[in-house]
Structure 1
Amino acid sequence: MKKRDILEIKVENMEFGGTGTTVVDGIKLSYKGGIAGQKVKMLVKKVRKTKAEGKILSVLEPAEIETSPTCPHYGICGGCSMLSVPYDEQISIKKNQIIELFNEAGHTEVADLEVLKSPSPYEYKNKMEFTFGDKEKGGELMLGMHAKNSPMSIEYVHSCMIVDEDYRKILVATTEFFRNANLPHYRVLAHEGYLRHLVLRKGKNTGDIQVNIVTTTQLEFDMDTYANMLTKLTLNGEIKGILHTFNDSLSDAVIPEKINLLYGVTDFEDILLDKRFNISPFSFFQTNTHGAEVLYSAVKDMIGDKKDIIFDLYSGTGTIGITVSDKANKIVGIEIIEEAVEAAKENIKKNNITNCEFIAGDVATEVSKISENPELILLDPPRAGIHPKAMGDIISFNSKEILYISCNPKALMHDLKVLKSAGYKIKEVVGVDLFANTPHCETIVKLQK
């Protein structure tokens, strides 16, 4: 095996996070994607002594476990890499992968765990960010997801199965409207064009819909005509707000340099475990509402008896702290994003909660200023895990219990080693599948001093 070889191989193993592996001539070949049992055509990209990297060019034969129905975009768009696998089988795969992660990291006391399912594997997403572009250079305007193995190509995902009918209707109507308007999409490499993204959000328990059209300032166009078209659509939910975000940054991310309200209001509401939450255009909210209810219910169960003081670190808009507020006499939350903290404070008022306090600042800085000692600390850090400075301060509180909620189990494995060396032991582990049909999964770990 050497660089640029084209191989026909069988996917032997699936590692957590969506990496497939196959041993070829004694060398472990790793690649993005792949379902165990598939026969694939593979491009070898790098070769070292004991490992190599590859890229799947095409699937030649499906795996035996691929028996679930798929949408017409499956295998083309870059999402839903496990859509063809029955949901129960997906849960089994994720369970085994998480156990393997723990054991490989030396946490061999975790021999078994439960992965809680999303209430539905379909139409669960409450936020989708679609991109304007074309499928072939100079082709018809498309609105959808980046194509797999061809990031400059856009797949028009009009039949996407992980969003509901309202999303599909708005996507199709938006595509047809701007095709008729004959407006150019933004070309990332040339830094030219107008149409960039369509961001849709919906309160799955309220039906509130927020539409956010993102463009550059390179052209002038009357977006009121677009908003007027949207308000005439027949939808199951109700459009609460239509926004026009201007973004001239070179990054392909949605950066709100200026926001113009075209219709309604800027924020909308959703409900989690009977608590109401205000959601602003760019605030974080779990993208699977009903799955988040499963997650937060599991957190409440793992907290157990009511505590005196709980610290909610990396608290975001306060969703976790507020939903578990009945499990403590006092909850103190810390979050670096000031907008999120202001939203958390509004959410406290909205739910008439008096025992939650939220502080704006970096966890690594703010925890050292708190004199109170918690009985339990809730940790829900970003994907990179916990900053070493913050970790030292967290440990210094000598809390009896820590509940670590992780969206990236690989970073979790490192942080667990630090916590265990400080005298904590793993008492319970639960997985929660917030991302059905993808390789990702949340993990909750309860530690005791």
Structure 2
Amino acid sequence: MPVYDQKTHKGFFRHLVIREGVNTQQLLVNLVVSDQYLVEDEQKSQWDNLLEIIKNDSYLKDKVTSFVVTYNNGLADVTHTPDSETKIITGEGQMYDKLLFTKENISEDQEKNEIEVSFRISPFSFFQTNTHGAEVLFHTAAQMVGYTKGTILDLYCGTGSIGISFMKLGMGDNLVGIEIVEDAIIDAWHNAKINGLDEKVFFAATPAEKAFTTVPEITQKLENL
């Protein structure tokens, strides 16, 4: 089964995307293929056999949290398009990672609280690629801004990692997140819930430039930005 040729737009295997939960040791594997190659019975049989091997491979069962296949016949050199289809082969189709922070309370004994923020991540939902770098960056930003109240506006929020982390660090009274990728917004709502913030957030899957005029809930919540 040949590798996909981007110039001729022929072939089968296009991309292999591996996402790692640095603090959870979970792995999400996304194999991107062009199923327009599967026109002959022999080719379909080869692919079915490979899928069975993937499902039953002991190493993959032990090391990979979830294995998905994306069928993408688009011409662009991307992992997915609006017309592509992703199917779960093993697992639940997503993985989890955590961001770990140490928050110092202003008190006589300078007590330190370890704060753990969990995130569900789907194949096409944005999450920072450098987990430990994100921990330092988010914590530093929170310290620079100060633990202020009001509404946090998280534009292009992806899975909600920045806004939810700020809330867990003690910033803001509520959070508004805007993101055009619907899968990421679904993850963001889930992440708010598992971190105990579902009553304090509002996420919308809409282009940012339209959010302030087309989503009434956002206009109302931003009065205290």
Superposition TM-score, scaled by structure 2 size? 0.77
What is the CA distance between 1:309 and its match in structure 2? 2.1
Correspondence 1:13-412 to 2 at 5 A:
183-217=1-35, 218-219=37-38, 220=44, 221-222=47-48, 223-228=50-55, 230-232=57-59, 238-255=63-80, 257-273=84-100, 274-325=116-167, 326-353=170-197, 354-368=199-213, 369=216, 370-371=219-220, 372-375=222-225
Any conservation in 2 of the 1:246–1:259 contact (CA below 8 Å)? yes
Letter in 1 for 2:32: V
> Could you tell me how far apart the structure 2 residues matched to 1:269 and 1:233 are?
17
Task: Give runs of aligned pairs for residues 409-428 of structure 1, distance below 5 A.
Answer: none
State the identity as a percent. 37
Partner-residue secondary structure (3-state), 2:8: coil
Q: Return the alpha-carbon distance in structure 2 between the equivalents of residues 356 and 322 of structure 1.
A: 9
Counterparts of 2:67 and 2:97 in 1: how far apart (Å)? 17
TM-score scaled by length of structure 1:
0.40
Secondary structure at 1:328 match in 2: coil
Provide the rounded CA distance (Å) in 2 between the counterparts of 1:329 and 1:202.
Answer: 32
Answer whether contact 1:314 1:336 (CA < 8 A) is retained: yes
Select the structure that is richer in helix: 2
Structure 1 CA distance for aligned equivalents of residues 55 and 194 of structure 2: 31
Quote the Cα distance in structure 2 between the aligned partners of 1:212 and 1:231. 18
User: How many residue pairs were aligned?
Assistant: 191
Structure showing greater radius of gyration is 1
Displaced runs of 4 or more, over 4 A? none
| Compared CA separation, residues 309 and 260, structure 1 to 2 (3 A) | closer
- The alpha-carbon deviation at position 319 of structure 1 amounts to 0.7
For 2:54, what is the secondary structure of its paired residue?
helix
Measure how far apart 1:322 and its partner are: 0.4
3-state SS of paired residue (2:209): helix
Q: 1:198 to 1:363 in 2, by over 3 A?
A: same
Letter matched to residue 172 of structure 2: A
Partner Cα distance (1:303, 1:332) in 2: 18
Distance 2:96 2:184 in 1: 15
CA gap 1:367/1:246 in 2 versus in 1, 3 angstroms: same
CA RMSD of aligned residues (A): 2.0
Q: Which moved more, 1:314-323 or 1:356-365?
A: 356-365
> Is the partner of 2:189 in helix, strand or coil?
helix
Q: Which amino acid in 1 is paired with 2:223?
A: N
Task: Give, in whole Å, the separation in 2 of the partners of 1:213 and 1:184.
Answer: 14
Cα-to-partner distance string for 1:17-65 (whole Å, 9 max, x where unaligned): xxxxxxxxxxxxxxxxxxxxxxxxxxxxxxxxxxxxxxxxxxxxxxxxx
Once the two structures are TM-superposed, the CA of residue 228 in structure 1 deviates from its matched residue by 4.3
Shift of 1:230: 4.7
Letter of the 1:188 counterpart: Q
In the alignment, the residues of structure 1 paired with residue 223 and residue 60 of structure 2 have an alpha-carbon distance, to the nearest angstrom, of 53
Name the SS of the counterpart of 2:16 in structure 1.
strand
